A and B are shown apart, each in its own frame.
Chain A
């Protein structure tokens, strides 16, 4: 690499603007400016605007006026909103537990040398790479009430005699959505946890084995605690993405049957964009914020505690 050396005379010829960039503070400001402008314009400003919107009576074509917390009182009394809150927690909780358990299992299966490991690892990530909406359509087709291949398989195996209407029943619809979310999330957990596993020195395992620890004890007392910091960050990301999920439910059920499978985002979309009640939609979206905030703070504090231990 050629280092472009400037002689003393040359550096004096630098334009005043470039000389200013020699000062770390000016350079930092210049480097951060594009980011600050874009994020300010499209995150900070919409957030502020969203708060105002949720405190107004705006609809499509009617800017509305300030109404205080009326929208929040209204959604609090809304039984669909309460179902939505419950659904979102259930969906996030169940999928996270399964994604962590299955992802860790898959990571352990991959954490050894065998033929074709690289190829298997590459293929395993596909559910995470392929656009969610597109792969969810494949699942929707697999769960189709009349043409379901899953029903066909269960029928051929003699496990069912009549069809299962996967997306027509509220509980089954929720279960289907949970299955797809787990399917999509396991690869992410597996690959990131695998990276964590690979940083754990095999000597620790050997030492524990010499001391007589059985495989399960070795996992529980050596692997799990050492993997904790990575696990926590992966869980943090996954929880936030799952809590705020939209695409999967939108494609699979659109919140139905009878509004039984809504998450915050799909219900906000239905009210805000679907029926044009912008202010109520914005209020439902923003109602996610305190929950997300608490999740992030608790997780970050916990991560800090684990890392300084």
Chain B
């Protein structure tokens, strides 16, 4: 595809790509530098003469220690992990079954139900958080992890269902028919033949659902109140800012450590993640 001289390749491809990568990754670099920079260096005004923003010669662990000693950070990590895992499992269970029904079974209103799922897929969390907070309170679920475990599936299930429908539709009908001719019941054909074939789709949905629940903020902010129930994003926001004072060192350390589980999961399953992401926008 590339014609012409080497300099053209540099000007039209390599240079812009480098710029893109630099801008997209710089905030993370900044997060890391701030995490390990001592307070004395952190709060130098931007026009101070000896200000060296991009590096530090005196790396320190004080901010990370502060997180674990002075705040409930370890607890927030555990909460977020627990909530993300359980809501992902629930959503996968519901999404796989619903996706199978909508993609492979003939029943009245199948089309209408498919559209309904697509519409709920598009409902943003911010539309319903106030009445939902009331409902959570009425169900006595306020300030417990279950308030999030039960509500996160509302945006995860439609996503999983939609993605799984795509995967199930791609599996040839003959596969099931063969199993049924051999005497397998519908249920067994689904569980032992079709679902195993759809495992890549299940992995993709699961990984994206996990990152989405790790990312969720407004429900966690509204439904949880006591410090030891909070998730990482909410805990960092509410406990490391006191009034107008931002504890930037611990804040960046929290942001960095809070990103690591997602980054690890992502790094192991990049291909599945990308496949899921591109599958999710296929109509």
B136-163 interface code vs A (CB 8 A; 1 in, 0 out)? 0000000000000011011001100100
* Pairwise interchain contact B98-A32, C-beta atoms closer than 8 A: yes
Interface segment, one of A6-14, A73-81, A91-99: A6-14
* Pairwise interchain contact A240-B154, C-beta atoms closer than 8 A: no
Q: Does A124 contact B (CB under 8 A)?
A: yes
Q: A49-B131, A278-B130 are in contact. Are A146 and B46 (CB under 8 A)?
A: yes
How far is B97's CA from A106's CA once the two chains are assembled, in angstroms?
37
- Residue on B nearest A27 in the bound complex, by CB: B186
Residues of the B chain whose Cβ atoms lie less than 8 Å from the Cβ of A45: 135
How far is B277's CA from A80's CA once the two chains are assembled, in angstroms?
37
How far is B274's CA from A121's CA once the two chains are assembled, in angstroms?
9
* Pairwise interchain contact B94-A38, C-beta atoms closer than 8 A: yes
- Residue on B nearest A155 in the bound complex, by CB: B47
Q: How far apart are A163's CB and chain B's nearest CB, in angstroms?
A: 7
24 intermolecular pairs with C-beta atoms under 8 Å apart: A3-B178, A3-B182, A3-B193, A8-B183, A24-B107, A27-B101, A27-B187, A38-B90, A38-B157, A47-B131, A49-B131, A50-B127, A50-B131, A53-B130, A109-B16, A125-B270, A125-B273, A133-B217, A134-B259, A138-B28, A138-B252, A192-B281, A247-B233, A288-B124
Residues of the B chain whose Cβ atoms lie less than 8 Å from the Cβ of A135: 27-28, 31, 255, 259
Chain B residues with a Cβ under 8 A of chain A: 1-2, 13, 16-17, 20-21, 23-25, 27-28, 30-31, 34, 42-47, 51, 53, 90, 93-95, 97-98, 100-102, 105-108, 110, 113, 117, 119-120, 122-135, 150-151, 153-154, 157-158, 161, 178-179, 182-188, 192-193, 196, 211, 214-215, 217-218, 221-222, 232-233, 236-237, 246, 248, 251-252, 254-255, 258-259, 262-263, 266-267, 270, 273-274, 277-278, 280-283
Q: How far apart are A2's CB and chain B's nearest CB, in angstroms?
A: 8
* Pairwise interchain contact B150-A38, C-beta atoms closer than 8 A: yes
How far is B106's CA from A218's CA once the two chains are assembled, in angstroms?
44
* Pairwise interchain contact A124-B20, C-beta atoms closer than 8 A: yes
Residues of the B chain whose Cβ atoms lie less than 8 Å from the Cβ of A53: 130-131, 134
* Pairwise interchain contact A42-B105, C-beta atoms closer than 8 A: no
Residues of the A chain whose Cβ atoms lie less than 8 Å from the Cβ of B21: 120, 123-124
* Pairwise interchain contact B127-A285, C-beta atoms closer than 8 A: yes
Residues of the A chain whose Cβ atoms lie less than 8 Å from the Cβ of B28: 126, 130, 135, 138
Q: How far apart are B156's CB and chain A's nearest CB, in angstroms?
A: 10
* Pairwise interchain contact A307-B283, C-beta atoms closer than 8 A: yes
Residues of the A chain whose Cβ atoms lie less than 8 Å from the Cβ of B127: 47, 50, 244, 285-286, 288-289, 292
* Pairwise interchain contact B281-A233, C-beta atoms closer than 8 A: yes
Sample of 4 further A-B pairs with CB below 8 A, known A155-B46, A183-B23: A24-B105, A47-B131, A129-B211, A244-B125
How far is B138's CA from A8's CA once the two chains are assembled, in angstroms?
52
Q: How far apart are A236's CB and chain B's nearest CB, in angstroms?
A: 8
Residues of the B chain whose Cβ atoms lie less than 8 Å from the Cβ of A172: none
Residues of the A chain whose Cβ atoms lie less than 8 Å from the Cβ of B270: 118, 121-122, 125
Residues of the B chain whose Cβ atoms lie less than 8 Å from the Cβ of A234: 281
* Pairwise interchain contact B183-A35, C-beta atoms closer than 8 A: no
* Pairwise interchain contact A39-B157, C-beta atoms closer than 8 A: yes
How far is B280's CA from A230's CA once the two chains are assembled, in angstroms?
11
